[in-house]
Amino acid sequence: MKVLFCAKGQETLAIEYISAALKEAGHRVELLFEPEFDGGMGFLPPYGMKLLQRKNRFLDAIKTFDPDLIAFSCPLNIYPFVKKTARLIKLHFSIPIVVGGGHPTLAPDYLMQNPDIDIVCIGEGEEPMVELADKMERGIDYSDTRNFWFRKNGSLIKNEVRPLLEDLDRLPFPDRDLFYHHGCFAGNLYFVAGRGCPFQCTYCCQHAFQQTYRGKGKYVRLRSVENVIQELEVCIKTYDVQHIHSEDDTFTIHHQWLHDFCDEYKKQINVPLYCHVRPGTLSADLLQRMKKAGCEAVFFGIDSGCEELRKSLLKRDISNDTIYSQAKLIKEAGIRLASASMFGLPGETPQQMHETFRMAIDIQSDFAYDSIFYPFYGTELYDYAVQNGYLNEKNQHDIKEGLGSPYQYPLLTGEHNDLAMTMKNCLPAYARFASLRPFLDLVIKKRWLKLSGLVNLLLTPFSYAFMGRLKRKEILQTILGYFKP
């Protein structure tokens, strides 16, 4: 059985995990990859970039590989690419197309309205995709395969999800070679130590995924320390790894696991580490262990600098005092602090936006990652925005279509959208280049939106230190790889 994945923009661990599972089961896998040409990385402008795309590239590759199944992993903002590519494929081939990922999991009915999509995969895809490929190869009926919705004889078949895989050590390591050959590695290696998040933040899809799997097993799961270290050992022997980046939403909530991980990481890996932390989960001892293990920087969620907004609207029960004290511990441990914040929340006032901006500076963020609030479909805050008139029907439709992004102009209706976008454009440079602050203060005060966009274009890629440098290198590598024969 031959399975062809289509992907856009950057390395995708979900595809790599499923590819590894399929290959372990004896199937062949290939990847069609398109670099990010439309500005979705947050600081590249779309103008003229699409002219670089080569016509018929996908069609030629499909003819050569002759797959039995074509698969897409589809977070919400990738759906325009999935829709366009599926249409192109169906105009020339009759190959079944399956789409999985966050968007199909939260909006399966909407995606199944697309006649070019034959199958939707809901939830985690390793076991479902292997079972589907096995049945298709054997030529038997596969319409009862759990986790999938199918269109059959004019009817829609909706199978339930299977129980969650609790022993994550059973999974083969991600098939990173799939993306490596497309130039997607620039020295920064991504991994996940576990799956699931126990928190209920209203802007995040995790609480909706929890509902999908209610009664289907333990949602928050961790791999063993030995299993993670073994994967990383293989990677640093295979690739030019300069930094290792945990993609776990909450890397620091399981303290004993993290203690053991830090001990083994220092002894066996000893490569600079970067991870996501939640304010309130850190201690001085834990941070010292992380520092000794090689943790160079942490990604620290502010989200909103207004405590009332953060607790009531976002359901992040974290006080301002906690954020300030935890940031201080990070700095005292000698670990660099990368803060994350949003502008343009439903009903957010200019004063509240300024509180967010000021907090990112006051906690001495070394790097300030920020975004515009994007109401992801299926989240509690999306529903809130619809019910309270912040999203008109057109924008609701655009969100289902995956249009817009957390880096583009707000989709919510609001009189302060220009200010939100101006602050978003200026904050990374404001945190990184203190000498520019008087100028940037003026840009924000006057709400010079276009000038802030120029600031974002010219300075943001240089405001993220090693992450910015590696991202620029990765962009160049993927573009050059795209034009290789």
The third-level CATH classification (topology) of the domain covering 2-165 is Rossmann fold (3.40.50)
Here the tokens at position 11 are 């390395």
pLDDT at 476 over 70: no
pLDDT tens digit sequence for 314-332: 999 999 999 999 999 999 9
pLDDT value of residue 49: 44
pLDDT at 309 over 90: yes
pLDDT tens digit sequence for 432-448: 999 999 999 999 999 99
Asked if the domains at 2-165 and 185-478 fall in one CATH topology, the answer is: no
pLDDT at 239 over 50: yes
Q: How many of the other CB atoms lie within 10 Å of CB of 256?
A: 8
What does 4-42 look like in DSSP terms, one character per residue? EEEEEES--HHHHHHHHHHHHTT-EEEEEEEE--SSTTS
pLDDT at 483 over 80: no
Q: What is the mean pLDDT of residues 370-380?
A: 96
The DSSP output letter for 156 is E
pLDDT tens digit sequence for 324-363: 999 999 999 999 999 999 999 999 999 999 999 999 999 9
Reduced DSSP (H G I as helix, E B as strand, rest coil) percent helix, strand, coil of the chain, to 5: 45, 15, 40
Q: Domain-by-domain residue ranges, the chain?
A: 2-165, 185-478
Q: What is the Cα–Cα distance from 157 to 144, expressed in whole angstroms?
A: 8
pLDDT value of residue 35: 78
Out of 57-61, 138-142, 158-162, 271-275, least confident range: 57-61
pLDDT value of residue 473: 56
Residue type, 371: S
pLDDT tens digit sequence for 182-220: 888 778 899 999 999 999 999 999 989 999 999 999 999
Among the listed residues 27, 22, 95, 37, the one whose alpha carbon sits nearest the alpha carbon of residue 61: 95
Indicate the pLDDT class of residue 470, thresholds 50, 70 and 90. low
Indicate the pLDDT class of residue 461, thresholds 50, 70 and 90. confident
What is the average pLDDT score of the chain? Answer: 91
pLDDT tens digit sequence for 22-39: 999 999 999 999 876 544
Q: What is the Cα–Cα distance from 13 to 248, expressed in whole angstroms?
A: 12
CB 380 within 8 A of CB 370: no
pLDDT tens digit sequence for 392-433: 999 999 999 999 999 999 999 999 999 999 999 999 999 999
Q: What is the Cα–Cα distance from 25 to 10, expressed in whole angstroms?
A: 26
pLDDT value of residue 387: 97
User: What CATH number was assigned to the domain covering residues 185-478?
Assistant: 3.80.30.20
pLDDT value of residue 48: 41
Q: How many of the other CB atoms lie within 10 Å of CB of 172?
A: 16
Among the listed residues 103, 96, 93, the one whose alpha carbon sits nearest the alpha carbon of residue 73: 103
Here the tokens at position 274 are 């970067």
Q: What is the Cα–Cα distance from 51 to 63, expressed in whole angstroms?
A: 24
Q: What is the mean pLDDT of residues 85-106?
A: 96
Indicate the pLDDT class of residue 43, thresholds 50, 70 and 90. very low
Q: What is the Cα–Cα distance from 107 to 80, expressed in whole angstroms?
A: 15
